[in-house]
Structure 1
Amino acid sequence: MNKLEEKIVSYIEEHADQLIELCSKLIQFNSENPPGDSKPISKYIESFLEQENISMDWYEAGENMWNITSTIGSNHGKTLIFCGHTDVVPASDLSRWEFDPFSGEVKDGWILGRGASDMKGGLAGLIFAFYALKHLDIPLDGKLMLAIVPDEETGGELGVPWLLERSLIAGDGCIIAEPSSPLNPTIGQKGSCWFRLTVSGNQAHGSLAPLAGKNAIIDAMKAIDTIKELWDMDIRVPDEVQSLINISKEYMKNMENTAYYEVLERITVNIGVIQGGTKSNVVPDQCMVEVDCRLPFGISNEEALMHIRSKLDQLSIDYTLEPFGFKSSANYTSAEDPICQAVMASIEDITKEHAYGVMQWASSDARHFRDYQIPVLQYGPAYLPSIHNFNEKVLVEDVIRCAKVYALTALKFLT
């Protein structure tokens, strides 16, 4: 590391307590989405940055859905975007938590609470790195933009895509503080195909079933069995991404859950919601099913929906299929891109270990940046088993490490 890099890393180490307090405070804001009220947490972030006379621009994309942005550095040279979301998935059944999900308690080296790993630990790191660069008056040969968005967890359109469509953010590279492993940023994502299937039938008295009426739940079960067959589809991965897939498979094989590597080349199918019927003695005339499919390289979102409809059409059921939420095809940023190189070099400077990019088996806001030809990757602190789970937490040391990497990335990329 050069002297400037050593200076910023030392500052983050010496002020680690301030960083961890920031993370704890962010967790204490209940920013569950839905409903998605981002104003309280955004006002707190603004007040934190105002300590260094950093101003924020506010954009309301929907009711209580606030995007906030800020920039430091020079208008000459490249632009790097630090991006993070304030919303979290619902805490759900509070009786299954071992602690208050909105406590932000720091205990035994862990920060506890909903969003600790996804992604308030990473968000705190981005904000603090941005703050530290300004506080130390580090010269940047370009512009560093902080973009904090309210609407990622529902796959909504009121965050990153809303800003991009209006040209309110733009850049030559972007780092999103989504959870990752310490040495392996995610440089590619699978596609997403969420859809809502509504199956219709005919009501009748339950005592006459199956001779009377047409049971929408039974027909929906047939549809579900057909949709589950997507897992067995033979999909050819394009040659250009095969090396990334191979590297990612080896990475996943070395993880605790070694069987998961299969998802990289298959369509995963999760039947997430089923609603149907009114009473046990009434043949149901409607059943609704919500499905989350994740798509590998080799099949687009549109092709997947077309295939699903063609299979359902063969079942002689009365149905409608409506896409919603996350929708994208698989996408990636080359490991050779300058933003990827800057992040990998920064990780290696901090950890003294080899870093390399891998595929993510889910999806994120990264797809929107790639739609606008902005190279992007994800790197953030996380205890992966706790993401979207009860008892979510993140290690204090991981939050500190990531803040250092973010700051070094800014220096390397904007030089």
Structure 2
Amino acid sequence: MEKTEVLEKIKNCIEGNQDQITKDLQDFIAIESLTYNEGEAVAFLADKMRTYGFDEVRIDKVGNVLGRVGQGKTVLLYDAHIDTVETGDPAAWKFPPLSGHLEDGVIHGRGAVDDKGCLMGITWAGKTLKELGLDKDFTLWVSGSVAEEDVEGACVKAMMEESPDIQPDYVLVAESSNLRLMRGHKGRALIRISVPGKAAHASAAWRGENALIKSLPIIKAIDEFDDFREDPFLGKGTIEVTHVECKTPSMNTIPGEVIITCDRRISCGETAEDLLEEARAFSQGIEGVKPEIATEQVVTYSGYEITALDYFPSWVLDEEHELVQAGAKAYEGLFGKAPEITKWDFSTNATHLCGREGIPALGFGPGEEAYCHSSEDQVRVDELIKAIQFYAALPLFVPKKD
């Protein structure tokens, strides 16, 4: 069968299932799945995978759900995260945030664009490949990963450690991209700078050392810093002070310690040691200051404990890489035009899968980044359908292992 004919079958199959796809996503949105509380949504998706005829479905110790289609030598991993941020003030929403409300071809609700639309999409791609008998030359693993919103990369790292039988040749990270191919994004780190002082009663402040006042030159140096390494594709890194904690027992005591937390976006080639050296320079000449990369102790809904270093490296795949080119050919074959190939501004699980592990990764998804984490969280049904068509077509274009 010619590829054009196969692509037409894929398109027709998915378009013919539009109503069921829409309903499945609405039902998925209706299940709240906040970070560290994804269990009900994981069970829902695992049940869908079984109903859809996946060859294997497992929920690992971490709490990630994994479904397999096919058993060929070429292995692909499609990942989308199942957790969402909180809904916030319900009054800010036009429609109830867990309703999955459909209006004018748009599905509304928390997670519609980030990331339940994508996750339902890659699951339906697996179903379509199985249904059409197109799963003979490859193995496709579909991953619904947990806790991405808090510690991106950490739970897929644990997933790979807990499932050593899954060794992907290629990764597709399904996040909103407005149907553009994404071949990289900046990394992210949380830098904490501890500034010591000496607590004293505010009425006799001369007996102590005010750590907050001591920290002000550091905050000013961070705000004025612009000497970042620049990459022609990702651009320059950034740093922003996002939190200042004053450790004091009362409001009439000068703080004995201040902890400055910074969000540091990382461009190509910047290492953890580079970031620490930079942080030390901010406090040069100020005694006792200790910068470090933050560490998080997290426990997933399944009780799995993870110590996560808040350092998530950048990643870039060359535009001529075989995976990017496979994505471009699949897109053009489906939609009759070349895709836009660019980068994400936000961070994803690709920080580990490609940034640390070096597995070639590509990003793609329906919806606009602007709706992520907002009270306007939404995804267009027609974009979701196109994304599923792409997800189903991509395995037909990646190079096959002998």
Q: Same fold (TM over 0.5)?
A: yes
Pair 1:310–1:147, CA change in 2 (3 A) = same
CA contact (8 A) 2:293 2:310 kept: no
Match of 1:397 in 2: 382
SS at match of 1:271: strand
Per-residue CA shift, 1:127-181, capped at 9, x if unaligned? 1111121123224312111122112111256521112234242111111111113
How far the C-alpha of 1:288 sits from its partner, in A, is 2.8
Alignment of 1:165-184 (within 5 A): 165-166=161-162, 167-182=164-179, 184=180
Match of 1:131 in 2: 127
Match of 1:216 in 2: 211
Pair 1:178–1:52, CA change in 2 (3 A) = closer
Within the candidate set 316, 320, 323, 1:336 is matched to 320
Pair 1:337–1:318, CA change in 2 (3 A) = closer
Match of 1:21 in 2: 23
Per-residue CA shift, 1:223-281, capped at 9, x if unaligned? 22222334x105253xxxx3xx1xxxxxxxxxxxxxxxxxx432212322233245432
Pair 1:197–1:91, CA change in 2 (3 A) = farther
* Distance across 1 between alignment mates of 2:170 and 2:58: 20
> Structure 2 length as normaliser, TM-score?
0.87
Unaligned runs of 5+ in 2: 296-308
Alignment of 1:61-100 (within 5 A): 61=62, 66-75=63-72, 77-100=73-96
CA contact (8 A) 2:153 2:350 kept: no
* Distance across 2 between alignment mates of 1:44 and 1:145: 17
CA contact (8 A) 1:105 1:111 kept: yes
How far the C-alpha of 1:91 sits from its partner, in A, is 2.4
Match of 2:192 in 1: 196
The answer as to 2:281 corresponding to 1:310 is yes
Pair 1:219–1:382, CA change in 2 (3 A) = farther
For structure 1, which segment, 363-372 or 127-136, has the greater mean C-alpha deviation from structure 2 after superposition?
Answer: 363-372
* Distance across 1 between alignment mates of 2:312 and 2:194: 22
CA contact (8 A) 1:201 1:216 kept: yes
SS at match of 2:245: strand
Letter in 1 for 2:347: S
* Distance across 1 between alignment mates of 2:99 and 2:345: 30
Match of 1:251 in 2: none
The answer as to 2:35 corresponding to 1:42 is no
The answer as to 2:17 corresponding to 1:32 is no
Pair 1:95–1:287, CA change in 2 (3 A) = farther
* Distance across 2 between alignment mates of 1:207 and 1:93: 41
Match of 1:358 in 2: 342
CA contact (8 A) 2:7 2:333 kept: no
Match of 1:408 in 2: 393
* Distance across 2 between alignment mates of 1:48 and 1:219: 56
Per-residue CA shift, 1:80-127, capped at 9, x if unaligned? 111111011222344433332222211222211222111111111101
Match of 1:225 in 2: 220
Letter in 2 for 1:3: E
Unaligned runs of 5+ in 1: 246-263
Pair 1:326–1:6, CA change in 2 (3 A) = farther
CA contact (8 A) 2:279 2:291 kept: no
* Distance across 2 between alignment mates of 1:111 and 1:3: 31
SS at match of 1:2: helix
CA contact (8 A) 1:294 1:362 kept: no
Alignment of 1:143-154 (within 5 A): 143-154=139-150
Match of 2:303 in 1: none
* Distance across 2 between alignment mates of 1:346 and 1:374: 20
How far the C-alpha of 1:218 sits from its partner, in A, is 2.3
Pair 1:327–1:213, CA change in 2 (3 A) = same
How far the C-alpha of 1:402 sits from its partner, in A, is 0.4
Pair 1:337–1:311, CA change in 2 (3 A) = same
Match of 2:229 in 1: 235
SS at match of 2:379: strand
* Distance across 2 between alignment mates of 1:223 and 1:382: 39
How far the C-alpha of 1:408 sits from its partner, in A, is 0.9
Letter in 2 for 1:45: L
TM-align CA RMSD: 2.2
Match of 2:263 in 1: 292
Q: How many residues align?
A: 381
For structure 1, which segment, 328-337 or 121-130, has the greater mean C-alpha deviation from structure 2 after superposition?
Answer: 328-337
* Distance across 2 between alignment mates of 1:348 and 1:86: 29
CA contact (8 A) 1:196 1:321 kept: yes
